[in-house]
Amino acid sequence: MATKKEKEHMRWVAELGCYCCERPANLHHIRPPGTGIGRRTSHFHVIPLCHDHHQGNFSIHMAKKAFEEKFGKETEILKIVLERVEQLKCRSSII
């Protein structure tokens, strides 16, 4: 079960839209190597992906190698997403 802080973080991440195409996003949890598929990782290690880029034919789940060649590795995307979340938070606090 996600904590209040985790839920807030995930809301900010989803608000960014899909990392690849900016459509409405689901959240993809990044699993470190060796973590089983049935075990979810931290709710802070999520990236926003639309259905097509999350679970579609050319997606991180169905064609990970091709996806990462085009868009970057999950950890690289996570770093960019975290920076964008901070920028979004700063902009919203100004308004």
- Provide the whole-model pTM: 0.87
Query: Does residue 35 fall inside a structural domain?
Result: no
Give residue 19's pLDDT. Answer: 97
Query: Does residue 36 fall inside a structural domain?
Result: no
CA–CA separation, 81 and 47 (whole Å): 7
Residue 89: give its domain's CATH number: 3.30.40.190
DSSP the chain: ---HHHHHHHHHHHHT--TTT-S--EEEE---TT--TTS---TTSEEEE-HHHHHSTTSTTTSHHHHHHHH--HHHHHHHHHHHHHHHHHHHHH-
Q: pLDDT truncated to tens, each residue of the chain (95 aa)?
A: 889 999 999 999 999 999 999 999 999 999 876 666 666 678 999 999 999 999 999 899 999 999 999 999 999 999 999 999 999 998 887 75
The domain of 67 spans 4-30+41-94
State how many domains the chain has. 1
Give residue 75's pLDDT. Answer: 93
